[in-house]
A and B are shown apart, each in its own frame.
Chain A
Amino acid sequence: MQDPGISVLFKGSNFIRLLEGLSIALRISFLSVVISLLLGFFIGVLISGKNRFLKIVYGIYLNTVRIMPQMVLLFIVFFGSTRVLGINIDAEVSSIIVFAFWGSAEMADLVRGAIKSIPVHQFESAASLGMKKRTIYLKIILPQTLRRLVPSSINLVTRMIKTTSLVMMIGVVEVLKVGQQIIEANRTTSPNIAFWMYGTVFLLYFIACFPISRLSKSLEEKWKLA
């Protein structure tokens, strides 16, 4: 009888290697997500002001990021930097740069939308109570902006985590790449391996993303009432 495939998962150091791959994927995701959230928030606040120039520059930035497939960006940064600039950027660092570049643009757009959706009368109402401008921004506008941001930014974060699987294209051995290596190595002995392996990778991604979307759900639930 043929090996059902599942045993390959635990053969040798296979499972450990998968987990290592996952941790690389998560490390890249985590760093680029943190940078994107902070930088994106900052940019979002900037472009919500009155400065036309900033808005135009940002418009070009956002559209560039949206038009270019992330893979192209990865190639440009990873291979282009060596060719054009003569510097050698590590694949993992390149990935973080690209994802942060992308994520910041998207995050800034979300922040801008959230700020815009807060009606002027909220501000006026607070001002009529004699509150300071700073107090109004910090205690009234900011908390509401953050709330409105939760669902959409969580969505962005999970999208970013999933997209990190692209980094294997520039040689980062993350979880999907490890999976493929294991499949290659065991193709002849257990033909079912691909199914089990991709299933496992799916499960690992699910385990990584699920708590995040749960968190978002529970925050939304909590805040809907409050």
Chain B
Amino acid sequence: MSFIEVEHVSKEYISEGKSFPALKDISISIEKGEIFGVIGLSGAGKSTFVRCLNYLEKPTSGVVRIDGTDLSELKEAQLREKRQKIGMIFQHFNLLMQRNVLDNVAFSLEVSGMKKKEARKKALELLKKVGLEDKKKAYPAQLSGGQKQRVAIARALATEPEIILCDEATSALDPETTRRILEILKDINKEYGITIVVITHAMSVVEEICDRVAVLDSGELKEMGYVSRVFKNPHSKAAKRLIYDSERSVG
């Protein structure tokens, strides 16, 4: 049994009376401690897929199992508890602008009932982890994009997740900063054994940190396999286009 099991998941959005299939019968298993990449053109369904993994989006049909638990069977409160075990970071860092860095990290701990002092202590540890303890008093507006994303990572780590979902977490960052963020992700993957799912448009990111990769196209799973194999020898048209085009454009 895998850590994350997605079985025959479909998702249809209804907009203006018409239904639109964003995911079609997707089955993917992700192992514990793995770093798993998801690539595909814009609109392929990548974000929809990872949002199904923590039920921010409920699949129209199919099953999502995390560590053996079928998410559809969870009650509201249980689902929230489960979500704390599934951190998520976004392209938009979504920090609270009115709180300083330390409080941004401590905030989710406080609202889930931890004492303020304790929450801050833990937050400070996490800031050290991402190399930002000297910025703890700064406000998000005073940070660079990479620093903001590091705060977001520290915040995601605060609830001691077993999984971290990254939806284009490095898309707004320059290559050097991206590398730094990827280092941190690799670090926490090794140190805590956290399973990481990475959505990205940058093939170099996949090559750099992912073990396996899935290729989505128009809501369908076109190809899945080890990065080394997929990148050297892509079978599907979708994968070929993504991989060869990116090489050409990078030069």
**Chain A positions near chain B (C-beta within 8 angstroms):** 119, 121-122, 124-132, 135, 139-140, 143-144, 147, 223-226
- Other-chain contact of B92, A121, A144, A223 (Cβ < 8 Å): A121
Across the interface, name the chain A residue whose C-beta is closest to B82.
Answer: A130
Q: Is the CB–CB distance between A128 and B141 below 8 Å?
A: no
Besides the known contacts A124-B56, A125-B94, A140-B96, 6 further A-B residue pairs in the complex with CB atoms under 8 A apart:
A121-B90, A128-B165, A129-B87, A130-B112, A139-B107, A143-B98
Smallest beta-carbon distance A162→chain B, Å: 31
Q: Is the CB–CB distance between B142 and A127 below 8 Å?
A: no
Q: Is B250 an interface residue (CB 8 A)?
A: no
Interface string of B84-102 (1 = CB under 8 A from A): 1011101010101111100
- Pick from B54, B80, B99 the residue with the most CB of A within 10 Å: B80
Q: Is the CB–CB distance between A131 and B98 below 8 Å?
A: no
Q: Is the CB–CB distance between B92 and A119 below 8 Å?
A: yes
Residues of A within 8 A of B10 (CB): none
Q: Is the CB–CB distance between A131 and B80 below 8 Å?
A: yes
Q: Is the CB–CB distance between B92 and A135 below 8 Å?
A: no
Bound CA span A14–B141, Å: 52
Q: Is the CB–CB distance between B83 and A129 below 8 Å?
A: yes
Bound CA span A124–B100, Å: 21
Across the interface, name the chain A residue whose C-beta is closest to B140.
Answer: A226
Residues of B within 8 A of A128 (CB): 54, 56, 83, 86-88, 165
Q: Is B159 an interface residue (CB 8 A)?
A: yes
Q: Is the CB–CB distance between B90 and A125 below 8 Å?
A: yes
- Other-chain contact of A127, B56, B100, B107 (Cβ < 8 Å): B56
Residues of A within 8 A of B56 (CB): 124, 127-128
Bound CA span A144–B140, Å: 14
Q: Is B148 an interface residue (CB 8 A)?
A: no
- Pick from A128, A131, A143 the residue with the most CB of B within 10 Å: A128
Contact A122-B139, Cβ < 8 Å, known A129-B155, A130-B81:
no
Across the interface, name the chain B residue whose C-beta is closest to A127.
Answer: B56
Q: Is B171 an interface residue (CB 8 A)?
A: no
Q: Is the CB–CB distance between B141 and A127 below 8 Å?
A: no
Bound CA span A43–B97, Å: 27
Smallest beta-carbon distance B117→chain A, Å: 19
Smallest beta-carbon distance B71→chain A, Å: 13
List of 4 A-B pairs having minimum Cβ-Cβ separation, nearest first:
A125-B94, A130-B84, A128-B88, A130-B83
- Other-chain contact of B84, A121, A124, A129 (Cβ < 8 Å): A129
Residues of A within 8 A of B96 (CB): 140, 143
Smallest beta-carbon distance A124→chain B, Å: 5
Q: Is B14 an interface residue (CB 8 A)?
A: no
Q: Which of B40-99 contact A (CB under 8 A)?
A: 51, 54, 56, 80-84, 86-88, 90, 92, 94, 96-99
